[in-house]
Structure 1
């Protein structure tokens, strides 16, 4: 019965099949976002007890030993999972899956489990991003639906990319930023047809997931106002934050490019989680993808040891990736940018410059995301979407993003 219906769908006009694939990918990616949301909450409650409404409070509500033990167990289980999975399944990145359309398809079950384990380890406190999982699952559904409907190779590649953006949109509720992410990072040309398809998939996905995931801003930020000094602040921060973002991007790419996948993962990954667990036992702010640290700073908190905290956070991300873990760097980049922006704004404030700490954090995050993603427009849109800011605040963010892009390009020319 099902196979007969699939055959009938294949006989439909090309435009109708494409429309079905686009809306189907959006809906499937929305369901992915909902599932990832529930999986994240379930594991956090299982590991750290009842939801306190604040993730940092939830981490702090359990003993230091429990935080250490949770991370140690998760590291051990994750190492076993990825060791045996990679012996049987060749994991494909989204870009690789696009390149191989028509030649080779991803292993649906293996890739799905691979993505879900990424969500699980972040829920348990791993210091890497969770956004890689919904992107991979969205791309997987987009590729499978378009293949089942026998669309052209180019359309199948477009649906894989659109599915990746839709997965990101569903989890973070940033459909416009997710569409820009696809256009800037996944090799999709800026044609009207492509733009429309990507926007439809990301907005359908976001609206499907919104009743469960929620449409509120991810971070609570006090109102930010700008004046003439805001543009000077954008220039200053760009000069100082861009090299830091470039360094973080370089380190994470190196770590991911030399990720351990052989037998050594059975001890390297548990060891990395043991280090994270030991640090988190005393400072739970190291736990998770960086969301708790960013919100802690946005809430007006600080520490004399903040530079050390940020350096350790950066090294933990690289350590986990190098030791065999998989995950994203989007939220860690955002967090490190927030911290760098806050520190440099404070530093220049000591020299008598009256600069806004909140604007400094937004500028730092914009520069970091634009640099590490190599997508300046996406960086601006993500910061606006994550924090619920907008209006004229975008102007200094645009200036910082543009100047950061120029610095990046000049550096690449020299290298």
Structure 2
């Protein structure tokens, strides 16, 4: 049931997304980037601005009383299950803003809707809390798979990002749910990949060399991407009428910028389509490498809700494409799509802290030759571990007492006299004191991931 509901949610939201795109940019068939390029300049501005105004008004209305539950809260059951219409309306608003050109991912909506539909369907079933959490997490990953035709990556999303587990039983359940959801997609749209691989046959020595070289730059770009998104989310517009103005203004600014860079529209598909079709110069790819994260952070700062998976993927693809075009200028005719897919996986693995999901997601989206997958995995795992090592090395010592000058709090400094220290408690008698002391450690006290916080729930 979870797989069927996830597939229906993914297919339905994809249909709504394409309908919004057609109405916004005035085309009725073909690639999204081609439709954007043929749209007049005024439509590139009015469409995203109007979509932002409508989405901002909707979000202000549903967030006035309380925020919409996240997938993690649905998985853990830490909050009362909200009304079905609230979460579904939030998902539709995400599709509306992305379809009208917002530079943010559309993968958040199907994950959210699939998780809520599954939670509602199994609410009164005799299912243990652990199995319930696994089913909802698997449904969220299956919603992702039903949109992008990535069944393996959808299952890995559930176990590597949402649940943070390595249990094979959990992976098997997630694969089953994701496979059923993808089957629903195949029955409607066929088995074609989300992106058409151009059919180039890269040589494995050059591909392996780039996979090794790309580890460091992908880790650095991924770190900067995550830092930028975290800062934008920390200063997001609250649930006030200002949401209407800020998201509408973000659409206007993006529309003007898209006069010169129409690839910025949408979740990042336009960038990857540009790479696969062989268009674009090194100046264009370097500009997209800088502008795509800025555009995505602008929408987060304005108060929009959406995913960060595909924007990070597109940023890494722009990095790889820029490197490939540079080698072309040096007289080395290396295939740009292969470089782009490896770069995309490396950056995504760094931002999501999930190298296996990132590698399979990038590979399933395009379907390059099977032998490219180990090279993609090499870059994804290497970038992830390099970024983790850099974070550990550059982190401040935990034992150092905090200084007043280091405080980032916005609260005013206190001018009162510090309280007198309390008297030390008497030492316990070693003869009567217990030999062992156990302190419970909360399993959910981890730092949140860029796209969502991990939930450590495993099957018994």
Please say if residues 97 and 106 of structure 1, whose CA atoms lie closer than 8 Å, have aligned partners that are also in contact: no
Aligned partner of 2:385 in structure 1 is 406
SS of residue paired to 1:147: coil
Residues 254-290 of structure 1: per-residue CA shift (max 9 Å, x gap): 3234321232323222211110121224432221111
Aligned partner of 1:81 in structure 2 is 58
Aligned partner of 2:424 in structure 1 is none
Aligned partner of 1:217 in structure 2 is 193
Cα distance change of structure 1 residues 173 and 191 upon mapping to structure 2, 3 Å threshold: same
Q: Select the residue among 257, 267, 274 that pairs with 1:289.
A: 267
Mean Cα displacement is larger for which, 71-80 or 390-399?
Answer: 390-399
SS of residue paired to 2:123: helix
Q: Displacement, 1:40?
A: 1.2
Distance 2:285 2:344 in 1: 16
Please say if residues 255 and 322 of structure 1, whose CA atoms lie closer than 8 Å, have aligned partners that are also in contact: yes
Please list, as runs of the form range in 1=range in 2, the aligned pairs for 1:307-346 lying within 5 A after superposition.
307-346=286-325
Q: Displacement, 1:202?
A: 0.5
Residues 189-222 of structure 1: per-residue CA shift (max 9 Å, x gap): 3323322221111000110122224321111222
Q: Select the residue among 229, 233, 236 that pairs with 1:252.
A: 229
What is the TM-score of this pair, normalised by structure 2? 0.81
Distance 1:87 1:320 in 2: 19
Please list, as runs of the form range in 1=range in 2, the aligned pairs for 1:2-401 lying within 5 A after superposition.
24-101=1-78, 104-222=80-198, 223-263=200-240, 264-303=242-281, 304-348=283-327, 350=329, 355-401=334-380
Please list every run of 5 or more consecutive structure 1 residues that lacks an aligned counterpart in the other structure. 1-23
Please say if residues 30 and 206 of structure 1, whose CA atoms lie closer than 8 Å, have aligned partners that are also in contact: yes
What is the TM-score of this pair, normalised by structure 1? 0.89
Residues 102-153 of structure 1: per-residue CA shift (max 9 Å, x gap): x521332111100111111111111111000001111111211221314221
Distance 1:271 1:174 in 2: 34
Larger Rg: 2
Aligned partner of 1:21 in structure 2 is none
Q: Displacement, 1:353?
A: 6.0
Please list every run of 5 or more consecutive structure 2 residues that lacks an aligned counterpart in the other structure. 396-460
Cα RMSD (Å): 1.9
**Whose helix fraction is larger, Structure 1's or Structure 2's?**
1
Cα distance change of structure 1 residues 192 and 88 upon mapping to structure 2, 3 Å threshold: same
Distance 2:387 2:365 in 1: 24
Distance 2:25 2:32 in 1: 10
Distance 1:80 1:63 in 2: 26
Report how many aligned residue pairs link the two structures: 391
